[in-house]
Chain A
Amino acid sequence: MTRYAMVMDQRRCIGCHSCTIACRTWNELPVDIVYNPVVSQGATGIWPNVHLEFQPMICMHCEHPACVPACPTGASRQDDDGIVWVEPTQCMGCKVCANACPYGARVYNEEEGFMRKCTFCKDRVRVGDQPICVQTCHQKARTFGDLDDPNSEVSQLVNQYYTERVYPELGTDPQIYYIPSRGRGRD
């Protein structure tokens, strides 16, 4: 079995937004739609003892997504390899999934009328390329791969380093793993 997952190395991420823009270009997104913002609080702490960290957000492609069961039409679905996506022709645009998603990963544009979300670039992945956000990351902060393959880079990173996930307590089992830039994650 294949289980796609992504590791975000926050020790490397410098918040340049290139993944955001690359994603918008590849997926030809409408101007007001962003799949994967890079967020940061800015420097925190008391000057000059401060810390700066960036967090690339993206659809968590949860093992137990909140959005898929919420969808009344079946347009929202999860493939066997874990990729959660929306079939635009079947989506009626009720936005219930967007309300259900704890990560803000679903985005909607009035003019299009269907829900959009990150697809892990499944059109690229299935011809053997990396998702565009991974390919374009010049800091190599993003790693994409098969978590079920113990030799894959993502498996090794997840097993080797302390990782964090966003809101795992909601029971969604998110599949984006963050290696934080401080605390236990710092090597």
Chain B
Amino acid sequence: MQQFWYWHIATYLFLGGLGGGMMTFAFVLGVIVAPSLLTSSILVFPVFVAFICLGVGTFLLVFELGQWKVFYRAFVTKTAVIKWGAVLLSISMIFGVLFIFWEITWLAGLPIIPYEGFARACLAIGGVAGAGVMVYTGVLLASMKARPFWNTPALPVLFAVSALSTGAALMSVCVGVWPFPDAWLLNTTMYPTTVPAWGSGAAALACTEMTEWLHTADAVLIVCEILVLGLFVLLQFCASNETAKAHANRWVRGSWAGIFWGLMVGCGLVLPLCLNLMGGVAGAIASPILALAGGLLLRFMIVWSYQRRLMPSEYKYYTREIQGHEPIMDYWKKDKYWEEI
């Protein structure tokens, strides 16, 4: 009843958060934690993947619009939440692309913009905007006071934590599977140039370190997410609003309990955490994939908990309204009796 957003938006929220989270991590790693990484190729692939996530998310958003031809209007007016989302999304994507462009030209020995500060700035702006995007995905829903299950400050926190955790997971995969140590790049470059102080061996070492760092971060974030999710659902249970309570009920012990406990909490959070702690291939590959699936499922469950607060009379009206009565609608559209006459 009164559902307006479906899988496009759920996926968009997931991908936006994911891309935003990855951008944030790229910023944290490349600018704060290990500035030396800035000039290695390690960050190119994660930032590219983040860009793809944000791009696909944006495509889904635009694709879902009723009149996508006027989507540019989102930039020209007002201060709506969704408008800031679009702005942040764009900034994050643009500076991500700029960073990739700088890095490739730099590593390829074609330093069109020969300043490291530029790369750092790109990563910083893109990363902060990415952080904004992942919070925005939650704020967008949380600002709907019409929808009690969304309208809670816990939701942006939940989405942000989930975005970071999924971001860390995907980033660790990106870094872990990156097959090209810098040496490859260096050896194939036509022009020797300002080679980083540490050689290809150092780069490979950095890869491993970074993966481990991300695994650790992911484990911490998954624990955080479990806590925030618990808090979120608990808050909904205690809400003053029957609609929110009904949704929480559905999640925890209603028709969605199996999905919630089994798939989301079990396979999407607890299992990845365990695998993560176990380490090895399971920790490197299975754990992040499950975490990502859990994050996606979370967005779907949230988006499908869209119910507007209804008066009992409205509820009766909407249950009675036409649903699954396509023949009636078709009947109206056709003019068939008289076509042949």
Contact = CB atoms under 8 A, between A and B. Distances in A.
> Do the two chains touch directly in the complex (Cβ atoms below 8 Å apart)?
yes
Interface of A: 31-32, 37, 39-42, 53-55, 57, 66, 69-75, 89-96, 98-104, 108, 110, 112-115, 166-167, 170-171
Contacts of B313: 39-41, 53-55
Contacts of B143: 70, 100
Contacts of B147: 99
Interface in B61-83: 61, 64-68, 70-71, 73-74, 76-83
A69 B79 contact: yes
B308 A110 contact: no
Given A31-B332, A102-B309, A112-B66, A74 B146 contact: no
Interface string B109-129: 000000000000000000000
Contact of B82 (A72, A74, A93, A108): A72
A96 B140 contact: yes
B311 interface: yes
Interface of B: 2, 4-5, 61, 64-68, 70-71, 73-74, 76-83, 86, 140, 143-147, 306, 308-314, 316-317, 322, 329, 332
Contact of A41 (B76, B86, B316): B316
Given A69-B78, A70-B82, A100 B66 contact: no
A41 B314 CA distance: 8
Chain A contact residues, majority secondary structure? loop
A37 B5 contact: no
Given A39-B314, A41-B316, A74 B77 contact: yes
B308 to A, nearest CB: 6
Given A102-B308, A104-B314, A115-B66, 13 more contacts: A39-B313, A39-B314, A54-B313, A72-B73, A72-B81, A92-B66, A92-B67, A94-B64, A94-B65, A98-B4, A99-B147, A100-B143, A108-B66
Given A100-B144, A100-B145, A114-B67, A72 B74 contact: yes
Contacts of A108: 4, 66
Contacts of A73: 70, 73-74, 76-78
Contacts of A40: 313, 316-317
19 contacts: A41-B313, A57-B314, A69-B79, A70-B144, A72-B81, A73-B73, A73-B76, A74-B76, A92-B71, A93-B65, A93-B66, A94-B61, A94-B66, A94-B82, A100-B144, A104-B308, A113-B65, A114-B67, A167-B309
A102 B307 CA distance: 10
Contact of B146 (A42, A89, A99): A99
